[in-house]
Structure 1
């Protein structure tokens, strides 16, 4: 397959489709297209386009993905920074990247994939951006009820300055793995106007991540007591910032008071993994438990860094079991406070809803 001319503009490639800030930023960069119908100059798979993209680019490299369901495993290696993956229609339901490996799925040649290897999409390059894409792990838990290892990652990040807009992350256990190449790295992820669905520990890992005006959907597993856990952060003690949910909506089809907001994950028993999660100015439906934080594998939730601030809805509350931020702490618990860093990264200013972007 051939790629389009490096001089082609994103506006040309996306004529008639929704213009996003990502395509504006990439207007003079290399543009590749993916089209399952064999359009001239397009690649048939997302991975083929990734493989063809320039290495070590300092400017955005845009891959425009045409409408369709792409049944493939995709990996963006560390030597392909600044890659922008853009759904051609702007609707994430139209562009779906999906696969169905789980931690317990046998690998060709022996062994199993493990949690890390189960990911449908793995991002190991800095500066990655996605807009209008669905990332899915379609592993069927019921069909493989007797199999060990139901962890099934839709997307795993292993790099810094990664952002998602108007995207979806679909799975059950371990949907979104916000990892780091090295556990002491401060790798930052921004998720805006997006949707995450799952049941057990479905947003987890050591990265610093902000979920801004997004929907967090906890899926019913049929229990009348505990259906699951939304987060399992493994933030390093040296990192002040783990997961921040702000202006977001927590929903569920599960029974009331059957989901925890989170529990502290000490990966491989790491004593320096002290979870940090803040939920603020968000709407919590009735599925959230009155005591929304819980222990994990013998590690106490009270020793972690969990907090809430000005939440509303039937799942919100204030008690000894629900630590609240002070007003002074809340002033720092913002996208800027979590993500700006010494490089002054400001991904929250770049989204379609912002008329100043």
Structure 2
């Protein structure tokens, strides 16, 4: 029943994209309309009310990409998840042309500002390695959807940047070390694999105080190659961080305490870090920090896609 429900959610989103205005193909061998992804983005009409499909053929596209705010309703679709790779290798301490460090935000391989963005079967990566903050994707846009995508990096892999941004991830793979899913957006992760390397923190939410939801993980798998007990589920980048993990598998790499206050006891009274219905070696809550929360079965039932993502309009 759950699989059918998730399929219907994906079908709903894909059906919304059926009104295609334009189709663009990117191929490194010259067989498409463009050989680079940025050229294809630049060709999208501004203030686009219909969907532009960008089909990306297999290949490693080393580009620092930017989808401007004017490029809306873009749907990127890769030819193959493991072979369609968008990557760059910037990192926070790298200097720009003026000698100034580019910082965490500037390190992103792909900046997404255009609303109603969708991606399928694409790997997004930052190839800088374990050199500190190095973002694979920074999403400021509202109504961003990712189906069957991978996000590869180390520290700060996925930056959910926009305060008013709503994001949906289905059947995605996200890997990293420290704070590798971070930011202020409202984001629902459905049936995703969250893969921890070396040790660190899965999340670092900075949810605005007025927001009902920050990160919600539903039917996900928290696993990795790190040592047992070496990963915390999250810590608050800002005082009102909100993270809910429900009906998910938590492996033995999850620390028994579960959550960290980022060295500030005051965060313990303002954050909302909660769990419900999880399984696995790391799911036991008997040794969780005292300030973490649990939710009831009735509250868990209210955590549907519409409730989490509807916001001020009917998007879901």
Please report how far the alpha carbon of residue 21 of structure 1 lies from its aligned counterpart in structure 2 after TM superposition.
6.9
Cα distance in 2 between the residues matched to 1:20 and 1:325: 29
The farther-off stretch of 328-337 and 60-69 is 328-337
Q: Residues 137 and 57 (structure 1 numbering): CA distance in 2 closer, same or farther, change over 3 Å?
A: same
1:344 aligns with 2:306: no
Correspondence for 2:293: 323
1:294 aligns with 2:243: no
Aligned residues: 302
- CA distance, structure 1, for counterparts of residue 263 and residue 183 of structure 2: 16
Counterpart selection for 2:119 from 130, 137, 153? 130
* 1:201-216 equivalences in 2 (<5 Å): 201-216=179-194
Q: TM-score, normalised by structure 1?
A: 0.81
CA drift of 1:335 comes to 2.1
The unaligned stretches of length 5 or more in structure 2 are 1-10
Residues 250-279 of structure 1 show CA distances to partners (whole Å, capped at 9, x for unaligned) of: 11111111100000002xxxxxx4000000
Verify the 8 A CA contact 1:22 1:84 in the aligned structure 2.
Answer: no
SS in 2 for 1:290: coil
Partner residue of 1:112 out of 64, 88, 101: 101
Residues of 2 paired with 1:98 and 1:138: CA distance?
7
TM (norm. structure 2) is 0.91
**Are 1:170 and 2:152 matched, yes or no?**
yes
Give distance in 2, aligned partners of 1:20 and 1:189. Answer: 15
Structure 1 residues 205 and 55, CA gap change in structure 2 (3 angstroms): same
Gap change, CA 1:300 and 1:333, over 3 Å in 2: farther
Aligned residue in 2 for 1:278: 244
Q: Report the 3-state secondary structure (helix = DSSP H, G, I; strand = E; otherwise coil) of the residue aligned with 1:330.
A: helix
Alpha-carbon distance, 1:108 to partner: 2.2
Q: Contact 1:264–1:300 (CA<8 Å) still a contact in 2?
A: no
Structure-2 separation of matches of 1:251 and 1:191: 17
2:167 matched residue in structure 1: 189
Could you report, residue by residue, the CA deviation over 1:48-72 in whole angstroms, capped at 9, with x for unpaired residues?
Answer: 1001111100111111001100001
Aligned counterpart in structure 1 of residue 176 of structure 2, from 198, 204, 208: 198
Instruction: List per-residue Cα deviations over 1:312-337 (Å, max 9, x = no partner).
Output: 00010123525211223212223222
Q: Trace 1:65-104 onto structure 2 (pairs within 5 A).
A: 65-88=56-79, 91-104=80-93
Counterparts of 2:201 and 2:181, CA distance in 1: 9
Q: Distance in 1 between matches of 2:197 and 2:52?
A: 35
In 2 relative to 1, CA 56–116 (structure 1 residues): closer, same or farther, beyond 3 Å? Answer: same
CA distance in 2, matches of 1:93, 1:23: 25
Are the counterparts in 2 of residues 26 and 61 from structure 1 also a CA contact under 8 Å? no
Q: More displaced, 242-251 or 296-305?
A: 296-305
8 Å Cα contact 1:264/1:299 also seen in 2: no
Contact 1:294 1:301 in 2 (8 A): no
Correspondence for 2:273? 306
Partner of 1:16: none
Moved more, 312-321 or 248-257: 312-321
* Structure 1 residues 333 and 22, CA gap change in structure 2 (3 angstroms): closer
How well do the aligned residues superpose, as a CA RMSD in angstroms?
Answer: 1.8
- In terms of Rg, which structure is larger? 1
Label 1:301 to 1:293 Cα distance change in 2 as closer, same or farther (>3 A). Answer: farther
Residues 1:219 and 2:211 are matched in the alignment: no
Which of the residues 335, 346, 353 maps onto 2:305?
A: 335
1:229–1:300 Cα change, 3 Å: farther
Gaps of 5+ in 1: 1-18, 145-149, 221-226, 267-272, 347-357
